[in-house]
Chain A
């Protein structure tokens, strides 16, 4: 059991002896290793943390009647798989899911690339009216944006983008772009300039330097912005709602979910099933990519 000390573990019982004597009874006998305490803590936390999600999955297998009549019980009396059938059919879910995946992925690629390019320019080069530009960017960062939906729709329409997913994708890409530009600018402004000097000696052009040297270097910022953007556009409701009013085929999952809410009643079971379906792909993506996320975020320093 006496392995190498776990690195980076903060433990109150460890820190306390140097400050105050361990007077509390629970810390005196220590039959368990610290690792076990941590695991127990994490297991308890995880159970509480995921309880609402487990409740959701359980509700997705219950009839609407049972959702209301049961309290703590998580196991349905009878597995109501028809909720899933209904969710899949009634809500045209395959289509909505595909739309959502497209919107979230493409807007992430656009937002990250575009803001990285701009951030590189702003953070590293002399740009005319830079102060004014940054001033505008910062100013718009603080304004709540909920009220801009109608002009936003108007612009997208005049650009002829509302007939396809392009409108939603671009509107979503632009949503966090200011924050992303500033993050990239801040990152690039601190990178050592020897990098470019070396690349220039190798005969690299400006775009080559950016895409081959600087962009890979910015992996931490890129990963952070990508996660933020992907989740934001996956969850986004108001923009896709307004953009797809006249085009039900373009709806995303979060908008499609409204099918279950009627004026006089709500199909909770169908909604829970639809929600479960929409969460699962993201959980899989997370499990597969979480290492990449984390290491990507920290990649530069480590590599």
Chain B
């Protein structure tokens, strides 16, 4: 199972691997074996009952035809998967999810890092104010953000369009959420706005971990700001970066509320990400019965594909690291 070591392997492959294999401290602590298992129990209980069981139940459900309304589920084997792989809208949702993730995560991480660097400046006044301002969208309920944005971005009398028409080069208002060309970029932009604050907090923390003395030493040695960042700060915050990237990636692949409230996946499926696809099939009855089995199959298939891609990525990363180490030595 190549995927197993991935998140461990990705952050800090070297040190971590070494410390796990180099005789863990169980020999020296009394009753470690007992306590270890005891410490695992609550998490395993929660995980088993409220994560694994529902997923397992969904995996089972993916082989059935079930609306959630009836008492009986009929077993239909791999039919759901067969239909799913032939469903162009599933593949479109798959693409949209990845488009969303790749458009959001790198841009947000870089932008938040830039802000974090500005906001760590000790001479800057009102840091708390700026941090709070950037953080506000994070604490605003996602459903409200969706509603709010439909007003703010409204092509008729919406403030953004009015401002663009009045002060900008625009001649016709832009239907940001109704136009298939702008809908997805708009959602991406709003999602960056919504979640930059949380990334900012992580970057601020990461920067705090860089000792001041090192930074000053670099400047004394004649490095400019960029060189200082590149050679002193960047390497030290890299482990944070990997974790932040991983968290953001997983969160963004499972985006739901924001898309659902802003466009509901429209216009004409252009913003339908996988969770919206799953919701539409499993939990709406606009066109007949909900299809929980089909929705479950979509979730399972998507999960397996993401795992596969991550495994490939993990292998490539490890190979590259090994190659680099070989070259270095």
- Give residues 112-153 of B contacting A (CB, 8 Å): 114, 117-126, 128-145, 147-149, 151-152
* Also in contact, A197 and B28, with CB within 8 A (given A6-B123, A9-B118, A118-B42): yes
B36 touches A144 (CB 8 A): no
Compute how far the CA of A181 lies from the CA of B36 in the bound complex, rounded to whole angstroms.
14
Kindly identify which residue among A38, A117, A209 contacts B43, using a CB–CB cutoff of 8 Å: A117
Contacts of A126 in B (CB 8 A): 24, 26, 33, 36
A88 in the interface (beta carbon within 8 A): no
B52 in the interface (beta carbon within 8 A): yes
B132 touches A295 (CB 8 A): no
B144 touches A56 (CB 8 A): yes
Compute how far the CA of A296 lies from the CA of B205 in the bound complex, rounded to whole angstroms.
8
* Tally of contact residues, A, Cβ under 8 A: 125
The stretch among B13-21, B99-107, B180-188, B321-329 that forms the contact with chain A is B13-21
Q: Flag B196-213 by CB within 8 Å of A: 1 or 0 each.
A: 001001101111111110
Contacts of A38 in B (CB 8 A): 118, 121, 124
* Subset of 23 A-B contacts with CB under 8 Å: A4-B123, A7-B212, A8-B207, A8-B229, A9-B121, A14-B225, A38-B118, A46-B130, A55-B159, A59-B151, A117-B43, A145-B51, A151-B61, A155-B50, A182-B8, A190-B15, A209-B29, A224-B205, A231-B139, A275-B148, A286-B139, A294-B204, A295-B205
A142 to chain B, nearest CB (A): 4
The stretch among B81-89, B262-270, B272-280 that forms the contact with chain A is B272-280
Compute how far the CA of A182 lies from the CA of B16 in the bound complex, rounded to whole angstroms.
13
Q: Flag B22-60 by CB within 8 Å of A: 1 or 0 each.
A: 001110111111011101101110110111111101100
Question: Which partner residue on chain B sits nearest A254 by CB separation?
Answer: B141
A271 in the interface (beta carbon within 8 A): yes
Compute how far the CA of A143 lies from the CA of B299 in the bound complex, rounded to whole angstroms.
6
Kindly identify which residue among B28, B216, B243, B254 contacts A196, using a CB–CB cutoff of 8 Å: B28
A271 touches B121 (CB 8 A): no
A159 touches B225 (CB 8 A): no
Kindly identify which residue among A71, A141, A291 contacts B162, using a CB–CB cutoff of 8 Å: A71
A178 touches B139 (CB 8 A): no
Contacts of A173 in B (CB 8 A): 46, 50
Question: Which partner residue on chain A sits nearest B16 by CB separation?
Answer: A189
Compute how far the CA of A286 lies from the CA of B25 in the bound complex, rounded to whole angstroms.
38
Compute how far the CA of A118 lies from the CA of B57 in the bound complex, rounded to whole angstroms.
24
A151 touches B54 (CB 8 A): yes
- Give residues 123-157 of A contacting B (CB, 8 Å): 123-127, 131, 134-152, 154-156
Contacts of A223 in B (CB 8 A): 205
Compute how far the CA of A207 lies from the CA of B36 in the bound complex, rounded to whole angstroms.
10
The stretch among A20-28, A76-84, A277-285 that forms the contact with chain B is A277-285
Compute how far the CA of A294 lies from the CA of B201 in the bound complex, rounded to whole angstroms.
6
B132 touches A286 (CB 8 A): yes
Contacts of A41 in B (CB 8 A): 118
Compute how far the CA of A257 lies from the CA of B274 in the bound complex, rounded to whole angstroms.
25
Compute how far the CA of A156 lies from the CA of B49 in the bound complex, rounded to whole angstroms.
9
A39 touches B137 (CB 8 A): no
A61 in the interface (beta carbon within 8 A): no
B275 touches A177 (CB 8 A): no
* Also in contact, A11 and B225, with CB within 8 A (given A53-B137, A115-B43, A118-B42): yes
A297 touches B208 (CB 8 A): yes
Kindly identify which residue among B142, B204, B299, B303 contacts A139, using a CB–CB cutoff of 8 Å: B303
B54 touches A142 (CB 8 A): no
B7 touches A182 (CB 8 A): yes
Compute how far the CA of A238 lies from the CA of B141 in the bound complex, rounded to whole angstroms.
13
A58 to chain B, nearest CB (A): 10
B121 touches A49 (CB 8 A): no
Compute how far the CA of A3 lies from the CA of B209 in the bound complex, rounded to whole angstroms.
24
Considering residues A49, A185, A253, A294, which has the most beta carbons from chain B within 10 angstroms of its beta carbon?
A294
Instruction: Other than A35-B123, A55-B152, A295-B208, give 7 A-B pairs with Cβ distance below 8 A.
Output: A46-B133, A141-B250, A142-B303, A146-B299, A147-B278, A174-B49, A193-B19
* Also in contact, A10 and B117, with CB within 8 A (given A142-B307, A143-B299, A283-B132): yes
B145 to chain A, nearest CB (A): 8
A301 in the interface (beta carbon within 8 A): yes
Contacts of A196 in B (CB 8 A): 25, 28-29
Contacts of A237 in B (CB 8 A): 141-143, 257
A72 in the interface (beta carbon within 8 A): yes
Question: Which partner residue on chain A sits nearest B281 by CB separation?
Answer: A147
A89 in the interface (beta carbon within 8 A): no
Contacts of B137 in A (CB 8 A): 49, 52-53
Contacts of A7 in B (CB 8 A): 120-122, 212, 215-216
